[in-house]
């Protein structure tokens, strides 16, 4: 059995894009993150020490993305996945990274990646 801890619609302003004009502004990206985690012990003890702390993950991703200047959402998603895996010992995760308004007529475009470690 696998439990999933998730972060939904985490909006962050950053420099992202391949065009010159995009390199001069900050745009919104939106993360939806699912991470494997065993919550049984946390439920038994009712303490944050025994679970995957979604607030800590969120703060780390916000800090990373706000300071980044990637050209591609693919690169940003991959680097975010590496950070979560390495710093929070997550064995599986899925990240949906959206760039709202990037294509006229669409709500958002982006990537979904899934990684097992």
Instruction: Write out the catalytic residue numbers.
Output: 99
Are the CB atoms for 73 and 79 separated by under 8 Å? Answer: no
Listed residue (61, 71, 67, 65) closest to 16, CA to CA: 71
- Token pair 């599986």: residue: 92
Q: Which residues, 6 or more positions from 49, have their beta carbon under 8 angstroms from its beta carbon?
A: 42
Q: What CA–CA distance (Å, rounded) separates 91 from 88?
A: 9
| Under 8 Å between Cβ of 95 and 74 | no
């Amino acid at each position: 059995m696998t439990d999933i801890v998730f972060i939904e619609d985490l909006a962050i302003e950053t420099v992202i894009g391949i065009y010159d004009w995009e390199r001069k502004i900050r745009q919104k990206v939106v993360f939806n993150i699912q991470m494997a985690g065993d919550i049984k012990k946390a439920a038994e003890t009712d303490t944050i020490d025994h679970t995957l702390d979604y607030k800590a993950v969120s703060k780390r991703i916000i800090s990373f993305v706000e300071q980044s200047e990637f050209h591609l959402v693919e690169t940003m998603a991959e680097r975010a996945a590496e950070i979560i895996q390495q710093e929070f010992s997550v064995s599986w995760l899925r990240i949906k990274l959206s760039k709202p308004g990037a294509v006229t007529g669409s709500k958002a475009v982006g990537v979904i990646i899934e990684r097992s470690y």
